[in-house]
Amino acid sequence: MSRDVSQFERFEDWEAGQMQDPEFRAAVEELEPAYQIARLRIMRGLTQAQLADLVGTKQPSIARLESGKAEPKISFLRRVAEALGGHLEVRIALPDEVLKKPQRHQGTKKT
């Protein structure tokens, strides 16, 4: 049975609608890296098995990664990002309340 592609909603349109739901947005933010990998994979038209082949791993590894149940090594994330045509960025972000507090620097004292 074949379906007319025009009857399917584009992923980007579906995602934009879902992001209006505060619960969905909170879940996305909680699983941000996992969500981004799944999103990019879907946008590239790849299955988990196809991405796994590109990365040099097995499909269950990609499934665990996308579910947020894995704590992968940075080298693995780098391979996944490159297979998806992207690059890996790692950042450390501080909560807003920490950024608003005056910072005390320890070290040498001026006399």
pLDDT of res. 98: 62
CATH value of 5-89 in 1.10.260.40, 3.40.50.1820, 3.40.50.150, 3.30.460.10: 1.10.260.40
Give the whole-number percent of the chain exceeding pLDDT 70. 76
Contact status, residue 66 vs residue 100, Cβ threshold 8 Å = no
Model confidence, pTM:
0.60
pLDDT of res. 53: 98
Q: Which residues of the chain have pLDDT under 50?
A: none
pLDDT of res. 79: 96
